[in-house]
């Protein structure tokens, strides 16, 4: 019995002790998988003992075992306590995903070892070791220069045949001889397996071979954890780096393939949907319908525009009607509820008027006192002038001086009398005015609504049923083009402009606009010099023409469709936008909000008007 038969017999006895052969691998479900991203799933594996190091034993499939054969292999896995995170192809998306693990029979490894021994061919070295007759022949290759005779023998033994034992104390050159022998074997195209009890010993022998650089690229692979940095960081030798580079390239290819498969899967799903939608497709009827829809009056965009217009009008009619009723009821109720407050504020106004009259009377008395003081001052000035004369002039001024003194005394008496009267009048006026103010404050505090609220309610009550509102309630869509706020004439009509903005659906500001045009229902056109929004009594001329073609040409010429949809400001997001025209004829939108220009060197935001394919 040979050594192979002896090992096979021992393995058979081991298999028999484990229960015999015949066991087959089976798939075991570990748990439900929850998707967290493209190709990423999380599984709770509490109560199980998965082996994350065996990726070939993990697969993502459905809940039934029959779906495992069509499942997706796991490409990467990481475990955090009882949570297992697995990565599969990005296009993997099984229904009710679960993670499955392949369970091998107890004799799996023993069976694999037995099959491996049976598959071995001739093994002279194995036969030699089994018969305990090691030996061989030295190589006749001439040793390199610089070796001692024992080193030359060890070198020839490495290049020879058989099993040899090389022994020597530290520093006798064993590693040096080994480096030279391995380098020559690799240069000769031989395959060399270098093993040692320590990683550092392998690295020391390998480092010399690498330094000589006699090996072709990819001819040396360092298996296991290197201890020397020069070996560990050599991407042409270190197995982890080689595997990482190969995996990176493979992963890039896999990602590209996965992306292509996702596209193909989406296309297949779309083709399936189209196939279902085209079931029973009538090509002849389709051709007829295409001709019908190709007619100008049946074009989809025109029909859609008409439907959208009518739908908008219907929605506007309903909304406007509800809003008008609500506004009318609210205005009427507010107007009625504020009647007692209006009476109170009327009494406040009467008290204020009386206070004004009292104050005016006191002011008049004070004015009379000031006039008397001025007359006294003039009499005193005249008397002083006469007293300053001397000689003959003084004698001549004796009689006028007596008259001036008498006038001054009378003026002083009148001034004193009027001053006392003015002081008394002001005291009475102040006390009366304070009393009236207190009464007015009491009345104002007892009012439920302020004067401003009364004015707003009165305005709402009187303007709730304007002509524009009646048009809006009938479903009429109003678009108004006004001059922009830079026009000084606009300051005279701010109230009207604000009212128009609350009623019209769209109000667009236009810079340097002079034409007066009214288009109704895209059929009636009014042209002339009458400003339809502000002029009612002036003598102007308006020419009225009816015709849909002419109306549409006017609207196209004035770019009504493009100008009626101003964008929001690209800087501040506001709606204070006007439309302007450059000297070269190009139209553009411009934001005229002053707050938008602050911090932008005074430059306003602007953007070209998009006319599509038509100008």
Confidence of residue 380 (pLDDT cuts 50, 70, 90): confident
Euclidean distance between CA atoms 179 and 156, whole angstroms: 13
Residue 600 scores a pLDDT above 60: no
Pair 195, 178: CB distance under 8 Å: no
CB 428 within 8 A of CB 357: no
Q: Tokens 């052969």 appear where?
A: 21
CATH of residue 50: 2.60.40
Domain encompassing residue 230: 135-237
The answer to whether residues 87 and 166 belong to one domain is no
Q: For 126-170, how does the pLDDT look when each residue is reduced to its tens digit (9 = 90+)?
A: 677 666 667 678 888 888 888 899 999 988 988 888 788 888 888
Q: CATH number, domain at 501?
A: 3.30.870
Looking at 118, 149, 171, the residue that finishes a domain is: 118
> Which helix (H) or strand (E) is 593 found in, with range?
none
Entry field: residues in the chain: 615
Highest mean pLDDT out of 5-9, 242-246, 264-268:
264-268
- Whether 464 shows a pLDDT value over 50: the answer reads no
H/E stretch holding 490: none
User: How sure is the predictor about 615, in pLDDT bands with cuts at 50, 70 and 90?
Assistant: very low
| Secondary element (H or E) of residue 103 | strand 98-103
Residues 223-229: contacts with CB under 8 Å, at least 24 apart: 224/199, 225/199, 226/199, 227/199, 227/200, 227/203, 228/200, 228/203, 228/204
- What is the DSSP annotation of 132-145? T--------SPPPT
- Residue 14 falls within a domain, yes or no? yes
Considering the domain architecture, whether residues 146 and 75 belong to the same structural domain is answered as: no
Report whether 215 contacts 187 (CB < 8 A). yes
CA 186 to chain centre: 61
Residue 87, pLDDT > 80, answer yes
Does residue 489 sit in the same domain as residue 595?
Answer: yes
What is the average pLDDT across 559-587? 84
Q: Which of the 8 DSSP states describes residue 80?
A: E
Q: What is the pLDDT of residues 191-205, one digit of tens each?
A: 888 888 888 888 888
The owner of tokens 């954890």 is: 225
Same domain, 63 and 162: no
Q: Name the phi and psi angles at 510, rounded to 5.
A: -125, 135
Residue 190 confidence (pLDDT): 86
Lowest mean pLDDT among 56-65, 345-354, 568-577: 345-354
Burial 92-129 (b: 16+ CB within 10 A, else e): bebeebbbbbeeebebeebbeebeeeeeeeeeeeeeee
542: pLDDT strictly greater than 70: yes
Q: Is residue 302 part of a domain?
A: no
Residue 145 sits in the same domain as residue 176:
yes
Final residue belonging to a domain, choices 207, 237, 267: 237
Q: What pLDDT, in 10s, does the model give residues 471-498?
A: 555 666 777 777 776 666 665 556 666 6
What's the average model confidence in pLDDT over 280-307?
76
Asked if residue 495 and residue 433 are part of one domain, the reply reads no
What span, in angstroms and rounded, lies between the C-alpha atoms of 509 and 501?
A: 11
pLDDT at residue number 104: 79
Residues 113 and 140 in one domain: no
More confident residue, 17 or 124: 17
Can you tell me the mean pLDDT for 263-290?
83
Question: Where do the DSSP E strands lie in 436-586?
Answer: 479-483, 506-510, 516-520, 524-528, 542-546, 577-581
- CA 138 from centre of chain: 78
Residues 599 and 490 in one domain: yes
Q: Does 533 score more than 80 pLDDT?
A: no
Residue ending a domain, among 237, 265, 294, is 237
What is the b/e burial string over 16-51, where b = at least 16 CB atoms within 10 angstroms of the residue's CB?
Answer: eeeeeeebeeebeebbebeeeeebebbbebeeeebe
Of residues 299 and 189, which shows the higher confidence score? 189
What's the whole-model pTM score? 0.33
Is residue 460 included in any domain, yes or no? Answer: no
pLDDT, the chain, mean: 79
The answer to whether 197 and 204 are in contact (CB under 8 A) is no
The alpha carbon of residue 150 and the mean position of all alpha carbons in its chain are separated, in whole angstroms, by: 79
Quick check: is 20 in a domain?
yes
Contacts from 387-394 at CB under 8 Å and sequence distance 24+?
A: none
Q: Is residue 357 part of a domain?
A: yes
Q: Binning pLDDT at 50, 70 and 90, where does residue 465 land? A: very low
User: Same structural domain for residues 483 and 604?
Assistant: yes
Taking phi over 0 as left and psi of -120 to 50 as alpha, with beta for the rest, 475 belongs to left
- Do 497 and 599 lie in a common domain? yes
Give the neighbor-by-neighbor strand order of the sheet with 516-520. Answer: 516-520, 524-528, 542-546
pLDDT tens profile 551-569: 888 888 888 888 888 888 8
In a domain, 273, yes or no: no
Tokens representing 192? Answer: 């060399």
> 152 Cβ partners below 8 Å, 6+ apart?
143
Q: Is 514 a residue whose pLDDT tops 90?
A: no
Residues 591 and 386: their CA atoms lie apart, in Å, by: 76
Task: Give domain status of residue 206, yes or no.
Answer: yes
Domain match, 490 and 596 both: yes
Q: Percentage of residues in the chain with pLDDT exceeding 90?
A: 2
Number of domains in the chain: 4
- Say whether both 32 and 105 belong to one domain: yes
Does residue 42 belong to any structural domain of this protein? yes
Q: What are the CB-based long-range contacts (under 8 Å, 24+) for 83-86?
A: 83/42, 83/43, 83/44, 83/45, 84/30, 84/42, 84/43, 84/44, 84/45, 84/50, 84/52, 85/36, 85/40, 85/41, 85/42, 85/43, 86/33, 86/40, 86/41, 86/43, 86/58, 86/60
């Amino acid at each position: 019995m040979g050594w192979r038969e002896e090992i096979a017999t021992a393995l058979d006895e081991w298999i028999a002790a484990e229960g015999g052969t015949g066991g087959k691998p089976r798939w075991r479900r570990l748990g439900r998988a929850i998707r967290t991203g493209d190709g990423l799933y999380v599984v709770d594996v509490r109560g199980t003992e998965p082996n994350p190091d065996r990726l070939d034993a993990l697969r993502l499939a459905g809940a039934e075992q029959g779906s495992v054969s069509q499942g997706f292999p796991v490409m990467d896995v990481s475990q955090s306590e009882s949570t297992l995170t697995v990565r599969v192809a990005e296009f993997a998306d099984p229904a009710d995903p679960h993670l499955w693990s392949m369970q091998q029979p107890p004799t799996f490894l023993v069976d694999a070892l037995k099959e491996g021994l049976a598959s071995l061919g001739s093994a002279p070295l194995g036969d030699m070791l089994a018969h305990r007759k090691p030996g061989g022949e030295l190589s006749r290759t001439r040793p390199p220069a610089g070796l001692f005779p024992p080193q030359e023998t060890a070198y020839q033994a490495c290049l020879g045949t058989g099993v040899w034992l090389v022994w020597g104390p530290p520093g006798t050159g064993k590693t040096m001889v080994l480096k030279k022998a391995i380098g020559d074997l690799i240069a000769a195209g031989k395959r060399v397996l270098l093993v040692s009890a320590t990683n550092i010993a392998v690295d020391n022998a390998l480092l010399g071979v690498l330094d000589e650089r006699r090996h072709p690229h990819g001819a040396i692979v360092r298996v296991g954890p290197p201890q020397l940095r020069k070996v560990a960081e050599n991407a042409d030798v270190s197995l982890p780096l080689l595997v990482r580079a190969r995996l990176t390239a493979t992963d890039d290819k896999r990602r590209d393939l996965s992306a292509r498969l996702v596209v193909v899967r989406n296309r297949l799903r779309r083709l399936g949907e189209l196939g279902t939608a085209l079931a029973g497709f009538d090509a002849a009827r389709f051709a007829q319908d295409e001709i019908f829809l190709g007619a100008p009056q049946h074009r989809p965009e025109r029909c859609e525009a008409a439907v959208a217009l009518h739908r908008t009008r219907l929605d506007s009619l309903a909304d406007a009607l509800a809003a008008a009723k609500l506004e009318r009821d609210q205005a009427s109720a507010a107007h009625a509820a504020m009647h007692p407050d209006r009476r109170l504020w009327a009494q406040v106004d009467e008290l204020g008027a009386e206070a004004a009259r009292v104050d005016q009377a006191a002011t008049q008395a004070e004015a009379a006192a000031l006039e008397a003081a001025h007359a006294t001052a003039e009499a005193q000035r005249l008397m002083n002038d006469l007293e300053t004369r001397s000689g003959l002039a003084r004698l001549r001024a004796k009689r006028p001086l007596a008259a001036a003194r008498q006038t001054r005394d009378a003026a002083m008496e009148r001034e004193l009398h009027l001053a006392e009267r003015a002081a008394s009048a002001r005291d009475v006026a102040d006390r009366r005015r304070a009393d009236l103010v207190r009464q007015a404050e009491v009345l104002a505090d007892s009012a439920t609504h302020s004067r401003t609220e009364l004015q707003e309610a009165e305005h709402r009550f009187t303007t709730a049923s304007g002509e524009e509102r009646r048009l809006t309630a009938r479903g009429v869509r109003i678009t108004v083009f006004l001059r922009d706020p830079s026009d000084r004439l606009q300051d005279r009509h701010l109230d009207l402009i604000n009212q128009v903005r609350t009623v019209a659906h769209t109000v667009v500001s236009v810079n340097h606009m002079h034409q007066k045009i009214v288009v109704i229902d895209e059929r009636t056109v009014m042209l002339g010099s009458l400003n339809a929004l502000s002029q009612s009594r002036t003598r102007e001329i308006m020419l009225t023409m009816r015709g849909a073609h002419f109306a549409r040409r006017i609207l196209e010429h004035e770019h009504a469709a493009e100008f009626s949809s101003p964008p929001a400001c690209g800087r501040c997001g506001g709606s204070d936008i006007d439309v302007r025209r450059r000297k070269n004829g190009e139209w553009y939108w411009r934001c005229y909000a002053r707050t938008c220009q602050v911090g932008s060197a005074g430059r306003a935001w602007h953007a070209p008007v998009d006319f599509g394919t038509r100008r």
